[in-house]
Amino acid sequence: MAVEWSGSTPEVFIRLDRQSPETLGSQMRNALRTAVREGRLHMGERLPSSRRLAADLGVSRGLVQATYEQLEAEGYLQAFGGSATRVAFSPQATRVPSPKPPPAARMEIDFAPGRPDLNSFPARDWLWACGEATRTASARDMGYDDPQGSIRLRRVIASYLQRVRGAFADADDLVICSGFTQGTALTLAALRDAGVTSVAVEDPGHLDMPVLVRRAGLNPVFVPVDDRGLVVDELARTKATAVIVTPAHQTPTGVVLTPERRLALLQWAEQVGGVVIEDDYDSEFRYDKQPVGSLQGLAADRVVSVGSVSKSLAPAIRLGWVSAPRHLSARIAEEKHRCDRGSPALDQLALARLIESGRFDRHLRRMRGVYAARRGELVEAIGEHAPGLELTGLAAGFHAVAHLPRGADEAEIVHAAARRSVGLQGLGRYRSPYGEGPPGIVFGFGDVNEDAIRRGIAAIGDLLRQG
């Protein structure tokens, strides 16, 4: 006899056929998978408790629990510390490879985070470095070299990371790649091959992270971030054995992971035999205090540190590096070989020459001054035009968060600003469907000059006053 179930939360239909040769467990798993895939169960939607669903379907609670666990492992569902189980998969999220579609209209002043000052790219120095690289490249350099990357660049980056980031970097364990995005994708593929199935990501966090995790065939697990960074206790409640974090300057909140949380995170990694992927994306630019050293320097056997020149030079250079423990670096290099046989040799040699010659350091010093001035302008302009907004996350990088009064309509403020040709991003767009928190605006000030900052904030102050 067939048993049908239809509950009010959620509106899902499960049909169990007790005459079928297919087991009841398999029928339940298939029915739930189909409901999620077809969009009848939406991302973030809560499922009935195992007790309730078991009673409705006339099956044991253990069978429902096993079904939920299996679908969690497959990435369809996510459990929340013994409370609710929710849908963790959206058919659109896997179909759309880029989570950041270009803005519909070009804004006159755009506070989009993540962009360095593109007008300050040191074109003359880069031209010089490319000339040097081309002039001095050997015949061997022009062939299929080591997929790990040019040994010259690896040595230069290793000593740069030791000097500037307090990292434990060894040229033999570095893999040169096409930016953080590829470095992380390669690392995730290597972790998957090593048996990892679930990877935690920050919530709110960079929109690309869950997409990269899914594309590697792994399950993203969202872990909340508070004013001290990633909530490690929550991480420990999940099944994840790897996590991607932005400890030096969290994206998007700008929070710095506190020393206690750093230790707790490394202890977690030790306890679960896990791996921390450190996204060290903008730590070169630090204003208030001494630089926060890289996590990798504290536990080189547990941390994979991924960096790039996307913030220090320009995203278009598409060069980055992965500094990994020995047991992973060989796998990551294999992935790199399979993916594209290595990053462009002349660009690698040019970057090596740029750093060796001191021109890269000189550029960073100059840019620190540029960003410090923009940051100062942002603080001042908000104080003058929108004094109700509290700014946090200013210790490093070139984005910060302005906290809106409770109850403020974040989306409406973003739209109203767009109507005045001021591009803003709300904190909400960085949250998972389970994430919640007060409204806020992420202000990127890397690619906005001081005059534009002042005019943009004046316009926002004006629209906030108008309510």
- Residues contributing to the site for ligand PLP (CB under 6 A): 114, 179-181, 206, 246, 251, 279, 281, 308, 310, 315, 320
Please say which residue, 173 or 447, places its beta carbon nearer to ligand PLP.
447
Tell me the three state secondary structure of residue 325.
Answer: coil
Shortest spacing between CB 221 and ligand PLP, in angstroms: 18
Measured on CA atoms in the order 160, 164, 168, 174, is the torsion positive or negative? negative
Please say which residue, 293 or 315, places its beta carbon nearer to ligand PLP.
315
Please say which residue, 48 or 444, places its beta carbon nearer to ligand PLP.
444
Pick the closest to residue 182 from 295, 313, 97, 307 (CA basis).
Answer: 307
Please say which residue, 244 or 416, places its beta carbon nearer to ligand PLP.
244
Beta-bridged to residue 422, according to DSSP, are 109
Shortest spacing between CB 430 and ligand PLP, in angstroms: 10
Cα separation, 443 vs 109, whole angstroms: 11
The amino acid that residue 28 corresponds to is M
> CB neighbours of 210 closer than 8 A, spacing ≥ 6?
93, 201, 220, 222, 432
Tokens of residue 59, six digits: 């099956």
Please say which residue, 114 or 423, places its beta carbon nearer to ligand PLP.
114
Q: What is the dihedral of CA 261, 328, 317, 451, to 10 degrees?
A: 0
Cβ-proximal residue to ligand PLP, closest one: 179
Please say which residue, 177 or 386, places its beta carbon nearer to ligand PLP.
177
Cα separation, 347 vs 126, whole angstroms: 10
Shortest spacing between CB 177 and ligand PLP, in angstroms: 9
Cβ atoms of residues 116 and 445 within 8 Å: no
Q: Residue 407 CB: number of other CB atoms within 10 A?
A: 7
Whether the bond between 10 and the residue before it is cis, its omega within 30 degrees of 0, is yes
Please say which residue, 116 or 147, places its beta carbon nearer to ligand PLP.
116
Cα separation, 110 vs 135, whole angstroms: 40
Cα separation, 387 vs 374, whole angstroms: 18
Cα separation, 462 vs 467, whole angstroms: 9
Cα separation, 314 vs 375, whole angstroms: 19
> CB neighbours of 150 closer than 8 A, spacing ≥ 6?
141, 176, 345, 348, 349, 352
Shortest spacing between CB 246 and ligand PLP, in angstroms: 5
Please say which residue, 181 or 198, places its beta carbon nearer to ligand PLP.
181
Beta-bridged to residue 228, according to DSSP, are none
Shortest spacing between CB 113 and ligand PLP, in angstroms: 7
Please say which residue, 251 or 348, places its beta carbon nearer to ligand PLP.
251
